[in-house]
Structure 1
């Protein structure tokens, strides 16, 4: 007996092909994450730890917004802004870098301040007492590069005390300086107080008196190229509020 061939008409075939697609895209899965706005915030490396806390607090209060941080030295962040890297807000570790980007940002506002300290190996085995000790020839000192805010602040306070330091390396951001000291690749380095606090147990510190120190200001601003201007503006305003200020103060930053 011959078997009868069954043919599928074009309309039926189209229906069969569409059915799996409709099934895969159907249900509530199509709207999952659709109403969430992701903000990209370029932020100074010294804000790494406290901004992770800020992210959790902000997203809890604003369930429709997710915050994604990109941390680097302020000079690197400025280069990214000039290159047109997609981002919504910027927070630098100095006003000089922010002011140079005035055409790219909204009105900046300082959200916190910071000071410098000398980071040493735990227990301060070299028995450093102050800035003048950093000039010792047998001491391996690491500093941030002069174009980095913390490197510029460091140069200012050393110059004012007439201390000449020949660093074994100049790093692209404060976290790199801290890493060199904590790994034993350097005996000492100039970092922010907050970074040394975050690395408690991995480094020791020698305080720099206020009269010899420099104050770092952290301005925050929206970026004019943001695709989420309203949400970016809301986040920057939140950074100036009481909750964010409390997190920053708890992390060792000073009030603006």
Structure 2
């Protein structure tokens, strides 16, 4: 037997080992790797939101549900402070959208937000009067006229906080006939001709269409309201809650189309 044969065999074996080592260093081909995909969104979530969002958010939810068949977004609208208090008390809510960073802080300070709240829109107040302005309201000073029937939001809710700010800026002592729990209640009284004027957001005047008329005033620009959104830690469907927050953030232009100011 030739002495070269064992040497050749040894060299061949070494070459195979070397090739094996190189193969381990090469990345796996795309064909051999399992395709990655995000989990399919299913189920439902409950979103508590400021009353002034009661038109634009349901519209966004419809497009979201069409994009993600098998999902449902249910809303609870109201005064932000009351909603925040209910969440802190244990209300089963998946996402919160407040009309005030201060109100959102009530929830985040209780360690109930799953991520840092993000502002997605802003708003400003406007005077709403019934169609035709039968009370002849011209500005904020009419809210100090006891002869006129005027309504504003309760002082503890964001629209009430903003109202307090603009009255102070204008040097007006308001004489409201009622304090309402949210802007929807104020708008309802004005649209029903049960008040000469009410302070609501500009978006509420816009959404009311021809049932009311809006009167802008300069002080409104100094009392802008921010709208932060956050998914909550106690969500029963955290993946869907996070996806909904992302959807709203990606569609801020829809909020602006509804009359909201751009987030800053």
TM-score (norm 1): 0.83
The CA distance in 1 between the partners of 2:220 and 2:50, in whole Å, is: 25
Q: Do structure 1's residue 199 and structure 2's residue 201 form an aligned pair?
A: no
Alignment partner for residue 92 of structure 2, among 86, 91, 116?
86
Alignment partner for residue 81 of structure 2, among 70, 75, 82?
75
Match of residue 37 from structure 2: none
C-alpha displacement of 1:128: 2.1
Match of residue 168 from structure 1: 177
Gaps of 5+ in 1: 1-34
The alignment yields a C-alpha RMSD, in angstroms, of 1.4
Q: Do structure 1's residue 104 and structure 2's residue 107 form an aligned pair?
A: no
TM-score (norm 2): 0.80
Match of residue 224 from structure 2: 215
Q: Do structure 1's residue 181 and structure 2's residue 187 form an aligned pair?
A: no
The CA distance in 1 between the partners of 2:72 and 2:142, in whole Å, is: 46
The CA distance in 1 between the partners of 2:57 and 2:241, in whole Å, is: 15
Gaps of 5+ in 2: 1-40
Query: After the TM superposition, which of the residue ranges 63-72 and 211-220 deviates more from structure 2?
Result: 211-220
C-alpha displacement of 1:64: 3.3
Q: Do structure 1's residue 228 and structure 2's residue 237 form an aligned pair?
A: yes
C-alpha displacement of 1:40: 0.7
Match of residue 249 from structure 1: 256
Q: Residue deviations 1:133-180, cap 9 Å, x none?
A: 221221111011000100110011001111011111001011000011
C-alpha displacement of 1:211: 6.4
| Contact 2:45 2:236 (8 Å CA) reproduced | no
From the superposition, tell whether residues 84 and 229 of structure 1 become closer, same or farther in structure 2 (CA, over 3 Å): same
SS in 1 for 2:55: helix
The CA distance in 1 between the partners of 2:219 and 2:153, in whole Å, is: 20
| Contact 1:124 1:205 (8 Å CA) reproduced | no
Q: Residue deviations 1:222-246, cap 9 Å, x none?
A: 11111211211111111111xx212
The CA distance in 2 between the partners of 1:215 and 1:202, in whole Å, is: 25
| Contact 1:53 1:247 (8 Å CA) reproduced | no
| Contact 2:124 2:221 (8 Å CA) reproduced | no
Match of residue 130 from structure 1: 139
Match of residue 38 from structure 1: 44
